[in-house]
Chains A and B, each alone.
Chain A
Amino acid sequence: MPHADPKGVLTGVHFMDGDHAACEGALAAGARFAAGYPITPSTEIVERFAARIPTVGGVFIQMEDELAASIAIAGAVWAGAKAFTVTSGPGFSLMMEHIGFAAMTETPCVFMNVQRGGPSTGLPTLPAQADMMQARWGSHGDYEIIALSPNSPQECFDLAIRAFNLAEEFRVPVMLMMDECVGHMTEKVIIPPAEQIEIHPRRHTRLPPGEYKPFAPGPDLVPEMVHAGEGYRFHITGLTHDERGYPSMTAAAQDRLVKRLKAKITRAADRLACYEADGIEDAEVVVVSYGITSRVAQRAVEMARARGAKVGRLRLITVWPFPTRQLRALAPHIKAFVVPELNLGQIVLEVERAAAGQADTISVPHAGGGVHDPQQILDAIMEVLK
C-alpha cells in the first residue's frame, strides 16, 4: 500500500484529546474534505479540521444541518476527495438516510460519532454507548457497514486511519464509534512519520469510458470507481440499480445488488475482526467490552483476578461486522460472557447470539451519563463464579 501524504501527518508525540486525535487520524489518512454541523461532544473534531485543513490543502464547510453534512461528503467523494463527517446523538439520527445512500451507492466515507446519552437531546455533555445498534441498523433496508470502537485518544488516531482505509477497500461507509469520555480524554498520542502510515488508495478503474461499468463487482465483490469530470459520463442512483448504474425495478436486480452489498462485508468478516484478548485461554468468565467501558472492565478484571477468579478480557475494536465466529468458538470453554456497556443492553444481544446457548451471557447495563463503577462488573463476574 502507498504511504500517507506527509502534508497531513503531524508526526510527533502529542498530548491531545480523542476528538483532536481522530481529526489528526483523518488528516493522516488523506481526508481533505469534511462537512459538519456543531454538536456536543463531537464539535472539537471539526473545529480542529477547520483550523488545520487550509494549511494542508482542502476544504471544511459547516453545513446547515446534519442531513446536508452527511450528503455533502458523498458529493465530495464522487468528485475525488476522501471525506468524512462528524456528529453525536441527534445528529447521528439525522444522518441515517445518507448512511444508507452511501451503502447503496458504495460511496467510501467515514462517519465519526462521539456518543452521548440519549434518546432525543438526552445528555449532550455526558457519555453513552447507546448508538451501537443504530450504527448497524439505523438506515432502512438491508445493508452492511463497518464500525470501529476506540478506547483511547491514541486509538482514535489509529482507528480513524483504519476507518478511511476500510472505507476505500470495501467502498462502504465506516463508523468510528467513539464516546464522550474517549473524545474528551487527553492522553499521549504518538503520530508516526508519514512513511510508516499505510493508505488504501481509491479503487479507481483503469478501464476507459465505454468499457467501464460502475457497479460491475471485482472478485471481492467490490466494484471500481471513477470521479465526476473524467469523461466517463456515469450515473449514480440510490435506486436499486444494475451494473451500469441504471435503475432496475425488479426483484432479481434487488436480489443481486443487496445480497452483494451484504456479502462483500460478511465474506471478509474474519479479516475485519479485530479485538484485544487477555487471559481468555483458561478463563471461566470472559468480560466483553468496547470503548471507554473496556477501561473500567479492565479494572474489574484485575480486581477479580486478585480474588483468584479465572477471568478473561475481550475488547472489541471492530464491533461491526460482529466477530460472531470468534466468540462462538470461545463459548463452549467458559461459563459466561459478562458484557458491560453504556446502554441498556445492545452488543450483549450479539454476544448472546454468538454464544448460542453454550455459555451464559450476563448484561451489565448502564443508562449513560457516566461510566460503570468497576464493582458493578466485579459483582457480575463473582456472581457467575459463586
Chain B
Amino acid sequence: MNGGTREPAELGPRPEAELPPEACECAPENPVEQFLRTDRMPHIWCPGCGIGTTVNSFARALLEAKVDLDRVAVVSGIGCTGRVAGYVRLDSFHTTHGRAVPFATGLKLANPNLTVVVYSGDGDLFAIGGNHIIHAARRNLDLKVICVNNFVYGMTGGQVAPTTPVGAATTTTPYGCFEPAFNLPALMDASGAVYVARWTSFHVRQLTRSMVDIFRKKGFCFIEVITPCPTLFQRKNRMGEGLDALKYYKEKSKVRHGAPTSEVALTLDGDIIVGKFVDRERPEFMDLMRSQLAAQLGERYVEVEHLVCS
C-alpha cells in the first residue's frame, strides 16, 4: 500500500527488536488491511509517493487510539491526497476542491459524536481552501486535519503551490519559484489550532503517535506531513527517487518539540524542523456555542446532540 516505497518500518530509527510482528514477511495479513478498501486497489499513487505511508500511520493510529471505526469520518478535497477518502474503509467523503474543511464543519456540527478527520493536500487546504482552514482553526471546531505537503500540485502535473520553496522548479514556475511560501505550522498556530505538529514520511512512528494524540484531543488539531513527490517535485528539482527523499528527510530533520512556529519555515535545502510545536487548551466551538446559548436562553434552549431527521 506504500505505492512502491519501502515498508516504512524498515527505514525507521527503531531497533529491529521493536518492529511489530506484522513487518515480518511471514505475517499472514497486514494489520492495516482492514482499514482499506482493498477492492479499490491498486491505488493511483506513484511509486515512491509518501501519501500511502501516511495512510499506514493513520491506520495504525486508529488501532492504537482504539477509535470506534464506525464513528470516524474522513473528508478529503481534491488532489492526490484527496484520494485518501476513497481508499479508507470508513465513512468517507471526497468533496470539492478546497472545501473539505467546510464540509467537515457541517458534518461535525450535525453529529458531534463523529470523529471527523480532514485528510488533504497542501494546495487543497492552503491555496483554494486557505480561507476555510484559518476560520475552522479560529473557531476551534473539533476537527483533525492531516495535511500531506509535497510542495506541489501532483494531480494536475506539478504546478507551483503556496508551499513550494523559493527556488524550486515547477511546471508553472519553470525558472524557479520566487513567491514566498506559507509556513503552515505558524499559520495554524496563529489561527488558533490547539495542536500543531510536523513530521515527514520518514518519521512513521512519530507521525503515528501524533495522530494518536489528535484522536485523544478535543479541538482543531493540525498535522503537516512532508512527503516526496518523486514524479514531479523530486524529478523537476533533481532530488532523486522516493527513497532518496526519505534519506534526505532523515539527514535534514531536526526534532524540536515546542519550537516557536515562527522558526520552522521550510526552505528548498535547509533543515526540516519537525516535532510537536503546539499543544494547548482553548474552549471548543460547540462547547462555546452551548454555554452561550444556555446562558442567554436558559430553559428555552433546546440542546440536541445529533441533528438526525426522521
Whether the Cβ atoms of B96 and A97 lie closer than 8 Å is yes
| Interface membership of chain A positions 218-238, coded 1 if the CB is closer than 8 angstroms to chain B and 0 otherwise | 000000000111111111111
The residue that A30 contacts in the complex, of B37, B101, B309, with Cβ under 8 A, is B309
Query: Do B102 and A63 have beta carbons less than 8 Å apart?
Result: yes
B103/A228 in contact, CB under 8 A: no
A73 to B96, CA, bound (A): 13
> Given contacts A64-B131, A71-B102, A227-B308, is CB(A57)–CB(B70) below 8 Å?
no
Which of B70, B89, B90, B113 has the most chain A CB within a 10 Å cutoff? B70
CB <8 Å contact, B307 and A80:
yes
Contacts of B105 in A (CB 8 A): 35, 61, 63, 68, 72, 75
Chain A residue with the shortest CB-CB distance to B294: A54
Whether B91 sits at the interface, judged by CB under 8 Å, is yes
Q: Using an 8 Å CB-CB cutoff, how does the interface string of A58-97 with B read, 1 for contact, 0 for none?
A: 1101011101110111111111111100000000000001
- Chain B, residues 275-286, CB within 8 Å of chain A (1/0): the string is 000000000000
Asked if A59 contacts B102 (CB within 8 A), the reply is: no
Cβ of A209 to closest chain B Cβ, rounded Å: 9
Q: Cβ of A201: which chain B residues have Cβ within 8 Å of it?
A: 309-310
Per-residue A-contact encoding for B102-126, CB less than 8 Å = 1, 0 else:
1111111111011000000000000
Cβ of A313: which chain B residues have Cβ within 8 Å of it? Answer: none
Contacting pair A56 B302 (CB below 8 A): yes
Interface residues of B in 63-86 (CB under 8 A from A): 69-71, 73, 75, 85-86
**CB closest chain-B residue, reference A234:** B91
Partner of A71, one of B69, B86, B96, B111: B96
Which B residues are CB-close (under 8 A) to A202? 309-310
Q: Quick check: is B300 within 8 A (CB to CB) of the other chain? A: yes
Name the contact of B131 in the complex, choosing from A59, A65, A238 (C-beta under 8 A): A65
- The answer to whether A35 and B94 have CB atoms under 8 Å apart is no
Identify the closest chain B residue to A73 (Cβ): B106
A365 within 8 A of B: no
Choose among A56, A67, A68, A79 the residue that contacts B111 (Cβ–Cβ < 8 A). Answer: A79
Asked whether any CB of chain A lies closer than 8 Å to the CB of B178, the reply is no
- Partner of B93 from A61, A78, A233 at Cβ < 8 Å: A78
**B132 at the binding interface (Cβ < 8 Å):** yes
Indicate whether A6 reaches chain B with its CB closer than 8 angstroms: no
- The answer to whether residues A81 and B308 also contact, given A33-B109, A74-B106 and a CB cut-off of 8 A, is yes
Q: Flag whether A308 is at the interface (Cβ < 8 A).
A: no
Question: Of A55, A57, A228, which is within 8 A of B107 by CB?
Answer: A228
Contact of B102 among A75, A79, A234 (CB under 8 A): A75
Tell me whether B132 and A68 are in contact (CB under 8 A): yes
Cβ contacts A77-121/B at 8 Å (1 or 0 each): 111111100000000000001100100000000000000000000
Q: A68-B132, A75-B105, A202-B309 are in contact. Are A235 and B303 (CB under 8 A)?
A: no
**B110 CB contact (under 8 Å) in A83, A101, A230:** A83
Chain A residues with CB under 8 A of B109:
33, 59, 61, 72, 75-76, 79
- Confirm or deny: A275 has a beta carbon within 8 angstroms of a beta carbon on chain B: no
Task: Kindly provide the distance from the CB of A77 to the nearest chain B CB, expressed in whole angstroms.
Answer: 8
If the complex has contacts A75-B107, A76-B107, A233-B70, are A54 and B102 also in contact, measured as CB distance less than 8 A?
no
Query: Is A239 in the interface zone, CB < 8 Å from B?
Result: yes
Across the interface, which residues of B come within 8 angstroms of A74, CB to CB? 95, 103, 106
Q: Tell me, yes or no, whether B306 is within 8 Å of chain A by CB.
A: yes
A215 and B101 CA atoms in complex are apart in Å by 24
Residue A374 at the chain B interface, CB threshold 8 Å: no
By the criterion CB–CB under 8 Å, are B70 and A230 in contact? yes
Among A30, A71, A101, A234, which residue has its beta carbon within 8 angstroms of that of B106? A71
Q: Which B-chain residue is minimally distant from A55 (CB atoms)?
A: B300
How far is it, in angstroms, between the C-alpha of A231 and the C-alpha of B70 when the chains are bound? Answer: 5
Within 253-310 of B, Cβ neighbours of A (below 8 Å) are at: 289, 293, 297, 300-304, 306-310
Give the shortest distance, in Å, between A163 (CB) and chain B (any CB).
Answer: 15
Determine if A14 is an interface residue (Cβ-Cβ < 8 Å). no
With A74-B103, A81-B307 known, 5 other A-B pairs at CB within 8 A are: A54-B300, A68-B132, A68-B135, A72-B109, A233-B91
Interface residues of A (CB under 8 A from B): 2, 5, 7, 30, 32-33, 35, 54-59, 61, 63-65, 67-69, 71-83, 97-98, 101, 199, 201-202, 227-239, 246-247
A to B CB contacts below 8 Å, 21 in the list: A35-B102, A56-B302, A57-B303, A59-B307, A68-B102, A68-B105, A72-B106, A76-B106, A78-B93, A79-B108, A81-B308, A82-B309, A83-B110, A202-B310, A228-B114, A229-B70, A229-B111, A231-B70, A235-B85, A237-B86, A238-B94
Interface residues in chain B, defined as those with a beta carbon under 8 Å from any beta carbon in chain A:
37, 39-40, 69-71, 73, 75, 85-86, 89-96, 98-99, 101-111, 113-114, 131-132, 135, 289, 293, 297, 300-304, 306-310
The 5 closest A-B CB pairs, nearest first, are A75-B106, A80-B308, A79-B110, A72-B106, A68-B102
